[in-house]
Amino acid sequence: MIGLGNMGTPMALNLLAAFPHSLSVTARSRDRAAAVLSAGASWVDTPADVAEASDVVVLMVPDLPQVDELLFGDRGMAETPATCVVVVCSSVSPTGIRATDDRLRQQTEGRMRIVDAPVSGGTEGAAAGTLSIMVGGTEADVNIALPLLSACGTPVHLGPLGSGDIAKACNQLIVAATMAAISEASVIAERSGLDLDALLTLLQGGYAGSRVLETKKDRLVERDYSPTGAARYMVKDLSFAHAAAVETATAAPILDALRGQFDGLVAAGLGDDDLAVIHRYIRDPEQPR
C-alpha cells in the first residue's frame, strides 16, 4: 500500500488485521509509516519495490498526478517486470483513470491493470472498516481485489473501469449538497435564536437525519473546523461530477450552485479546513481566513 494519510493508515491497519504480515508499504519517510510498521507491515524503499513484492497494490493518494508519479516516475511501478492489480482508492477523473490504465497496460504488456475503488465514510469509516467502496474494472481484476477491499468495508462492483469514480462523483454531489443545506439551516437557526445543538439533535431523528449530520453535528455546534479531510478536495470531486453531467447531457443546477460555493470557500482561504467549514463560509462569506 502507498498513501498512509488520514484514510490510508487506518485502511492499512485493517488490511493487516485481516492478512497479518502480508503488507508492504513505502512513504516519504518511515515516520509516516510508523503505525503500520508497528502493526506488522514490511518497509520497502520505492514504488517499484512495492510492485515487486505484491500481487495487489492499493493507492490512497490525493489525485491522478500522484497516481501517475507512482506508476511512471523514477523507480515507479511500471519499471518492474512485476504482475499485479493496482487498486486506486483515490477520487480521480473517470476518463483520466481509463487513460492511465491504457498507458500502464501498454508499458507493462498487460502485466499491470487498474481497478478504481474510491471510498466513502470518512476517517471514522476507515478506522472502523465500514467504508462504502465503489469499484470499477474487469470482473477478473475486481475479483482479485475484492477480498482485500472487504477488509476495509463493503465493496460493490458497479461496472467497467471508471464506474467507481463516477459513483464517487455522485456520492460527493450528495455529500456536498447535504453539508451545505445543513450549514445554511444552522445559520438561519442560530440567527433566529434557536439552540443549535437541540435543533440538530431533533432533526437527526426525522427525515432531515443523515450520516453527514450525525458526523458533523458537533463540529457545527462547537464551530470546530479542524480537518479530518480538506474541504478543497470537494472542488475536484464536484468537477468530476460536472464532467459526467456534461457527458450525459444532464442539467444539474444544484451541482452548479455547489461548485460556486466551494470555489468561493477555497478562494477565501478555507480549503484546508474540514468540510464543515462551509458553515463558517455561509455565515460570513466576506471574511477571509
- What are the residue numbers of the active site? 168
| Nine cell digits for residue 247 | 457527458
Max Cα-Cα span within the chain:
65
Q: Which residues contact 127 (CB under 8 A, 6 or more apart)?
A: 10
20 burial level (CB within 10 Å; 0-12, 13-18, 19+): exposed
Q: One-letter amino acid identity for 286?
A: E
Lookup result for grid cell 474540514: 274
